[in-house]
Amino acid sequence: MRKLRPAVVALLFAVVMVPGLVAAASQGVHSIWSTKGGAAVIKGTLFAPVLNSSVVSWKEGAGPAFANARITADASGIATVLELHLVALQGLPTNDVVQGLWNVTLDGVLVCAACPGYAKGLSHPVGSPYNIDVDNSFYRLDGIITSRFDY
């Protein structure tokens, strides 16, 4: 059996490896920020308007992803603070949706641990709505994208 020449080995390596490297490098990385909240649902009750500070940052495909939202709502004259924090991914993030398990705190008290939910509308341009929905809309933020960065 003849030995493979270095040029042939290099060509085979390029044919097999380079497409995979290009595909991995082409998966988008995104980040959106919001300081405008339209409305929030807290324990099934709608509050509007709300103060919102949130960020979602993710890589398409296998991730990773980070998401955190802090919402302040007026509950009968009392400021109520809801925080939604992504703790684990479920499925593969796309350019528009990040699904996973979320921890929810209400006024600093954990009220929902590792609850299923998602952030969607993430591909929209600045000025457009997006939302974070946890525990079948028992906790929800409807916000406005105020800044984004994609590469």
pLDDT tens by residue, 70-126: 999 998 889 999 999 999 999 999 999 999 999 999 999 999 999 999 999 999 999
16 pLDDT band (50/70/90 cuts)?
A: very low
Q: How many whole angstroms separate alpha carbon 135 and alpha carbon 138?
A: 5
Q: How many whole angstroms separate alpha carbon 47 and alpha carbon 32?
A: 23
Position with higher pLDDT, 62 vs 132? 132
Q: Which helix (H) or strand (E) holds 84?
A: strand 78-89
**Residues in contact with 36: Cβ distance below 8 Å, sequence separation at least 6, in sequence order:** 52, 143, 144, 146
What pTM does this model have?
A: 0.81
21 pLDDT band (50/70/90 cuts)?
A: very low
DSSP 63: -
Please answer whether residues 115 and 101 qualify as being in contact, where contact means their C-beta atoms are separated by less than 8 angstroms.
Answer: yes
Maximum alpha-carbon separation in the chain: 85
Please answer whether residues 59 and 76 qualify as being in contact, where contact means their C-beta atoms are separated by less than 8 angstroms.
Answer: no
| Structure confidence at residue 12 (pLDDT) | 45
Q: Name residue 61's amino acid.
A: G
5 pLDDT band (50/70/90 cuts)?
A: low
| Chain-centre distance for alpha carbon 23 | 21
25 pLDDT band (50/70/90 cuts)?
A: low
| Structure confidence at residue 77 (pLDDT) | 87
Please state the rounded mean pLDDT for residues 52-67: 96
| Structure confidence at residue 27 (pLDDT) | 85
